Structure 1
């Protein structure tokens, strides 16, 4: 009998531990963790950060809350914001695109050559879109059918696009002489620059495409588990190509916008834009592994970084301090993502 009691006691303790673990698992993550892990919760957090930045801006710079400065922030966010829309699709789909900045530069150079400008504004716009989509198509084909890692393919495209832009322009800025293209940045509707309206239109179309169409649902499915998506009958390769072409088209649109804003096409356009876009997507809550993200979160991320830049300029702070602040924000955002994922599982 004593031996039997010694045997059954540990068994009873082990059973109790199992029951407690099962009970804890059944309760699941807390309400705060679920809110933090949701798209709405992350967006609310970014809105709170924006409000905090605005409070800091009002208290440290007298010109921050002026209409002209707020429009400057929106205009600055427009070009990188359009690029971020395409990058958001690519990352949700499980990829990465490091070439967006220099693809935009290449498109701006190609669209502003003397030969292209001689045909008028519509040919310039078509040229910019075609160059962007063509670069995206090459990226997509090499990734989908060449089975090369997206990081390597898009890094190679970044270098190639930079070289082509320098070759075509002779490392000189090409002046935009077409009055229609040059006038885009100077046109205002109801006091708001046309560039902001273009940005808003791209975001609206991107949101509908991501959240209200089968294309968007397939993007989430492929990013979450490409093998399961393939077994479910989705053409993963063709969809991957489409995502990179979409990213390239956004670069083409941004190329026309920056050519109008600066009245030049230059190989120096878009330097480090890819890092700013990816950083905005990350702090917006999109997972780098794909399968989850929101376009609104990415745009809020763009506004956060643009507002930080504006605050540093108004307060005459060094650029290196600004870069340090951006790096800290990215690390904190990834840590929050990681913690939220662990808590929700």
Structure 2
């Protein structure tokens, strides 16, 4: 869990190197001497927040064992992991975008569009590798359009990605005729049914995407630039970083994750449909928020985002096992999001 959690330091040092002088009083001796409060240091340090999410998961497990006899069974735990896999892959891309100072509302319907395109009769006739390529290409293309309009067109990310959400939904409905397209390729269908050491292959795919995302975010120049640009884009620009190109690349990363998720959901449901991914964008953003990533960008952890996904998935599983209504479930999720934002605000105020 020793992730890089803040891009403010790289951004400020970059600004200093460029002679920007934009760090203000934070560069002064008084601010350095004061430092973050113990509360702010614990929360914003990432490790403390992640441990808190682990404690929440443990508490949910206790509640599950106490209220549902089948909660602690191997089958149910694998169900939770499988359910978390698809939205978890999307959340990896959302984490990159939000740490970089953006937002992506189109992820759910980009995934649906990719699943529809990959499961047309024409696409399936070329075999599984073409289906995978089409899903990834559609996701990346949608992310590229988002990134170009935001970075070079200077349009607000909320507006661009909302427009992409609507457009992707309409295009998916047009291609599919508002009908579910059945996956006939056995190789794609086998992804969801194959188990390795008793664990579904979907979970391994999810873990692989998380591992690659973690390495890129925390051990590469691309990751460091993402934190720097999200923390202070002007300082990053003055230090010589191509902020616009990097911003566009972040949305391509998000789109690629949507393409991977499209193959996963097509395999799990054996269909490609325009109805896939409804409200996935909200679930992904909520997971990123309760995982400790700031909506303003520049600070966050991928491990925290994944723990956020597991928290939401476990809550959903508990509601299903206890036969509770969906509306109560949504109220609970909303309360958790508000609480997470309040905790973030409290921690930021505790940091000078």
Q: TM-score range by the shorter chain?
A: over 0.9
Mapped partners of 1:36, 1:224: distance in 2: 17
Q: Match of 1:150?
A: 157
CA distances 1:252-310 after superposition (whole Å, capped 9, x unpaired): 00000000000000000000000000000000000000000000000000000000000
Match of 2:94 among 87, 96, 119: 87
Q: Quick one: structure 1 residues 224 and 24, their matched pair in 2 at CA, closer, same or farther if it must change by over 3 Å? A: closer
Mapped partners of 1:24, 1:114: distance in 2: 63
Match of 1:98 among 98, 105, 129: 105
Q: Match of 1:344?
A: 351
Match of 1:196 among 203, 210, 215: 203
Query: Secondary structure in 2 aligned to 1:220?
Result: helix
Mapped partners of 1:29, 1:200: distance in 2: 34
Q: Match of 1:214?
A: 221
Q: Match of 2:275?
A: 268
Shift of 1:33: 3.6
Match of 2:241 among 206, 228, 234: 234
Contact 2:39 2:347 in 1 (8 A): no
Q: Match of 2:54?
A: 47
Matches within 5 A, 1:7-22: none
Mapped partners of 2:272, 2:87: distance in 1: 16
Mapped partners of 1:29, 1:208: distance in 2: 27
Shift of 1:62: 0.2
Of structures 1 and 2, the larger Rg is shown by 1
Mapped partners of 2:253, 2:34: distance in 1: 42
Q: Match of 1:72?
A: 79
Query: Secondary structure in 2 aligned to 1:217?
Result: helix
Does 1:289 pair with 2:293? no
Query: Secondary structure in 2 aligned to 1:344?
Result: coil
Shift of 1:32: 3.7
Mapped partners of 1:279, 1:70: distance in 2: 22
Q: Match of 1:334?
A: 341
Q: Taking structure 1 as the reference length, what is the TM-score of the superposition?
A: 0.92
Q: Taking structure 2 as the reference length, what is the TM-score of the superposition?
A: 0.90
Q: Quick one: structure 1 residues 27 and 154, their matched pair in 2 at CA, closer, same or farther if it must change by over 3 Å? A: closer
Mapped partners of 2:147, 2:315: distance in 1: 34
Moved over 2 A (4+): 22-33
Mapped partners of 2:34, 2:183: distance in 1: 62
Query: Secondary structure in 2 aligned to 1:292?
Result: coil
Q: Match of 2:305?
A: 298
Match of 1:325 among 305, 313, 332: 332
Mapped partners of 1:102, 1:140: distance in 2: 16
Tell me how many residue pairs correspond in the alignment.
324
Q: Match of 1:120?
A: 127
Q: Match of 1:254?
A: 261
Q: Quick one: structure 1 residues 257 and 24, their matched pair in 2 at CA, closer, same or farther if it must change by over 3 Å? A: closer
Match of 2:323 among 298, 301, 316: 316
Shift of 1:24: 11
